[in-house]
Structure 1
């Protein structure tokens, strides 16, 4: 396969990774979870995923908050409110939320190119597999039909603080963790609008929070009605 070259972009701007283009891996620069990407025309032979949506480049509005998203190298770690908002704005079947700042940093090796800014891109693979499809165990967010398990840490080991988190896993049992629940409904709790809490149906009576219960930002975290498997 023909190789693609690193971008000539010298800073993180809205022109970097525009929606409608595609992403292609840059071979030979892999670090950590995999190679960084460069944006190319979707007809390029090296294109692997379409950039379906891109957040505006912006300064993070507040300190990092704990949440759990499928961001390469950052899943289970604290990510900024911009990442949370970007993930929720992606289509449900998004396969990957790409941290464009970290991607550019991996390419250039110079933190100065970021300028304290952040931006994120929603990617959908041009071909299977599609981890963002319901039940496949990945993607940018949890959706109806996904399966989850409940643990006390982000890596499946016992946490000393006893905080429980809900993490995604393939419904077919091929993942490292057995699925315990299937999501039947995902929603923002109505108490945010002054209403009473949502009542889950009898066939999916378990109510789960889909992020860590920490800080006031948790008030905007989605919840789910889930069926016990």
Structure 2
């Protein structure tokens, strides 16, 4: 092909550029040193169940509510599972799920394993569910951090009520008190309770009024 010297030089430059764009790069060792094979970083999953997050959701704690440790859920020491985890103080933060058996209050500390590797665990609380019965947080169970529909209460004086097991004095952790009322509904306003209601119980949440009938 005949062409002027300047035109030929330009054609050669274009062909060279096209050849460079089509040259494969990667793990073949023929690249220019800038292209590197990429491998996705491993993502910690809660299936590991231990050590990724200090008492994260679905992880387990040992026996004891005053002194506890995080243990694998398959361990013979495992007693309860975390069903929700929040920062801050329990009385000021989000409520635990309705069937929580008990709450572990986590003080700010500096263990060897924590959320982000900075050597600190912030103050928070873990909502716990026992791995095996009894479950005081279940309706009528006589315990748990929340009063829910199905729970029973007794008058504690001065306009207060306390939760007790619906099964009777031997049915829960309430110190042997017999139930006097049972919460049958949760509503927004007292006026929404049925006519059989004789006691209003503060529940909290979007339906804060518990309608209780005598037993």
Counterpart in the other structure of 2:214? 228
Of 194, 206, 215, which aligns to 2:198? 206
Report whether the alignment pairs 1:123 with 2:128. yes
**SS in structure 2 opposite 1:198?**
helix
Counterpart in the other structure of 1:151? 156
TM-score (norm 2): 0.60
Are the counterparts in 2 of residues 94 and 132 from structure 1 also a CA contact under 8 Å?
yes
Of 66, 74, 95, which aligns to 1:43? 74
Report whether the alignment pairs 1:81 with 2:92. yes
Counterpart in the other structure of 1:73? none
Counterpart in the other structure of 1:108? none
Distance 1:220 1:150, change over 3 A: farther
Are the counterparts in 1 of residues 201 and 211 from structure 2 also a CA contact under 8 Å?
no
TM-score (norm 1): 0.56
Q: 2 CA distance for matches of 1:24 and 1:140?
A: 19
Q: 1 CA distance for matches of 2:185 and 2:120?
A: 38
For residues 34-78 of structure 1, the C-alpha deviation after alignment (integer angstroms, 9 at most, x for no partner) is 5421112211111011111101x24x6xxxxxxxxxxxxxxxxxx
Matches within 5 A, 1:176-187: 176-187=176-187
Q: 1 CA distance for matches of 2:120 and 2:130?
A: 26
Are the counterparts in 2 of residues 209 and 221 from structure 1 also a CA contact under 8 Å?
no
Uncovered stretches (5+) of structure 1, i.e. residues with no partner: 1-8, 27-33, 61-78, 106-112, 153-162, 191-196, 212-217
Are the counterparts in 2 of residues 210 and 221 from structure 1 also a CA contact under 8 Å?
no
For residues 67-93 of structure 1, the C-alpha deviation after alignment (integer angstroms, 9 at most, x for no partner) is xxxxxxxxxxxx7322xx333xx2x22
Counterpart in the other structure of 2:168? 173
RCO (CA 8 Å, sep 6+): is it higher in 1 or 2?
1
Count of residues in correspondence between the two structures: 152
- CA RMSD for the aligned pairs? 3.2
Uncovered stretches (5+) of structure 2, i.e. residues with no partner: 1-50, 111-118, 170-174
Q: 2 CA distance for matches of 1:199 and 1:126?
A: 37
Q: Which has the greater radius of gyration? A: 2
CA apart distance, 1:206 = 2.2
Q: 2 CA distance for matches of 1:186 and 1:178?
A: 22
Q: 2 CA distance for matches of 1:219 and 1:44?
A: 35
Counterpart in the other structure of 1:69? none
